[in-house]
């Protein structure tokens, strides 16, 4: 019985140390991806490029601010700025799975020239991501989201690369 308790204490303290090393850590990153539109005119698929600022508020909760621009496809381009909450679930040393949810601002640019229109929209997104830490300062991840803007829902798939400090 004592051996079992000692084994549990060692395992739990090791796993807590692995999770605790990230509290208070900040980072910056690059987002690259595509966003097929599933609701809206013309069904464009925008190539996305953006940036990220992140902060680990607790051992398990990470806050991320994403700024992404969608390049023009079928006369539609997008921009969104979202604040997301990631619940980091450690699966193994340096590998995390996380559900995410966020709110923000979105802009949809439709058309060209004098016939173009800009639509400002509230953005809500939910999704799932995974991250692998190559070192204590560098990580790469993949996120899949459902991004809702009124009359313009999309399914962004994003690769992200982060430098943590």
pLDDT profile of the chain (165 residues), mean per 10? 50 44 88 89 86 96 97 91 97 96 95 88 97 96 94 92 96
| Backbone torsions φ then ψ of 2, nearest 5 degrees | -65, -35
- Predicted structure pTM score: 0.81
User: What is residue 115's DSSP assignment?
Assistant: G
Cα angle at 91 between 163 and 135, to 5 degrees?
25
Which residues have a Cβ under 8 Å from the Cβ of 85 and sit 6 or more positions away?
A: 61, 62, 63, 64, 100, 101, 102
Which residues have a Cβ under 8 Å from the Cβ of 41 and sit 6 or more positions away?
A: 76, 110
């Amino acid at each position: 019985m004592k051996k079992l308790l000692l084994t549990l204490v060692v395992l739990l303290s090791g796993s807590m140390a692995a999770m605790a090393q990230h509290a208070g850590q900040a980072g910056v990153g690059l987002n690259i991806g595509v966003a097929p539109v599933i609701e809206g005119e013309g069904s464009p698929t925008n190539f996305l490029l953006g940036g990220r600022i992140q902060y680990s508020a607790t051992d398990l909760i990470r806050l991320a601010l994403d700024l992404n621009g969608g390049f023009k496809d079928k006369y539609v381009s997008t921009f969104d700025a979202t604040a997301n909450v990631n619940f980091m679930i450690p699966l193994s040393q340096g590998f995390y799975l996380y559900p995410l949810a966020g709110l923000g601002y979105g802009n949809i640019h439709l058309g060209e020239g004098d016939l173009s229109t800009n639509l400002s929209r509230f953005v809500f997104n939910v999704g799932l991501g995974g991250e692998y830490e190559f070192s204590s300062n560098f990580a790469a991840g993949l996120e899949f989201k459902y991004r809702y803007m009124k009359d313009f829902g999309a399914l962004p798939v994003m690769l992200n690369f982060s430098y943590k400090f």
